[in-house]
Amino acid sequence: MQIEIWSDVVCPWCYIGKRRLESALAGFEHADEVEIVWRSFQLDPDAPREATETIATHLGRKYGGGPEAGRQMIDRVTGIAAGEGLAFDYHDAQRASTVDAHRLLHLALAEGGPALQGELKERLLDAYFVDARNPADRAVLSEAAVAVGLREERVAAVLDSDEYADEVAADAAQAAAYGATGVPFFVVDRRYGVSGAQPSELFGELLERAWADSHPLVQVVGGDDAEACGPDGCAT
């Protein structure tokens, strides 16, 4: 089974949804046969590569109410995150482009597969939401990528080029094709989609359903009274 998750590294519901899915997987008998692949989604594609303001300031300006309103939005989601064991503290994080983070996530997938990509995804989310680090900062990105085992020179080469930019764009196009306008967006076996950080119980039901689908038993229509012939003759 494969779960593709469209997500951004600066999306609070994505991190919360990740924990809820992980909670469902912890109770799922066949979790070791589930592969998770992270797909790119830029929540704020206009965000600059060079940060100019904090996310709280940006939110307050975009939705009104100033920095204090922005901080209150962050406070609300921080409270929900705490319920999932996540210690969000990102009021002072910078608003900045996540395209380079997504390009490194594609590098991790290409070089180390879904397991390595998953480690990098967790580190990048943690860097932003817990440590309020700049998601576009080269040192932050490189440190996370090297920490999970990617070669420093290879990471630098990707950051110095536009390698994997096409893959990031292709992921966005696929999300649009599925009709997804927000994240997290989960797709199981290209068959079921889940929009948003749903309760872990819902993820659990979905895992069971998708498992049954990919391991079909033949369900027989018609029974002993069917118009059929057997060792005891033909029904007439």
Give SS3 for 5. Answer: strand
Q: Which of 29, 68, 153, 227 contacts a second copy by CB under 8 A?
A: 227
Q: How far is CA 52 from CA 47, 80, 109, 125, 226, in A?
A: 9, 28, 31, 20, 74
Q: Which of 11, 99, 124, 155 contacts a second copy by CB under 8 A?
A: 11
Q: How far is CA 84 from CA 92, 173, 188, 197, in A?
A: 21, 31, 23, 11
Q: Which of 1, 3, 9, 16 contacts a second copy by CB under 8 A?
A: 16
Q: Is 64 in the site for a second copy (CB under 8 A)?
A: no
d(CA 48, CA 57): 15
Q: Which is nearer to a second copy, 156 or 202 (CB)?
A: 202
Q: Which of 170, 178, 208, 211 contacts a second copy by CB under 8 A?
A: 178
Q: Is 21 in the site for a second copy (CB under 8 A)?
A: no
d(CA 2, CA 105): 17
Q: Is 214 in the site for a second copy (CB under 8 A)?
A: no
> Stretches 13-21, 32-40, 137-145, 153-161: which one binds a second copy (CB under 8 A)?
13-21
Q: If we measure between CA atoms, which residue out of 183, 84, 90, 165 comes closest to residue 131?
A: 90
Q: Is 191 in the site for a second copy (CB under 8 A)?
A: yes
Q: Is 230 in the site for a second copy (CB under 8 A)?
A: yes
d(CA 201, CA 205): 6
Q: Is 236 in the site for a second copy (CB under 8 A)?
A: yes
Q: Is 112 in the site for a second copy (CB under 8 A)?
A: no
The separation between CA 32 and the C-alpha centre of its own chain, rounded to angstroms, equals: 18
d(CA 109, CA 4): 12
178 with 190: CB under 8 angstroms? no
Q: Which is nearer to a second copy, 35 or 189 (CB)?
A: 189
> Stretches 26-34, 93-101, 128-136, 178-186: which one binds a second copy (CB under 8 A)?
178-186
Q: Tell me the closest approach of the beta carbon of residue 54 to a second copy, in angstroms.
A: 16
Give SS3 for 218. Answer: coil
Would you tell me which residues interact with a second copy (CB under 8 A)?
Answer: 8, 11-14, 16-17, 43-44, 59, 62-63, 73, 76-77, 80, 178-185, 187, 189-198, 202, 206, 216, 218-223, 226-231, 233-236
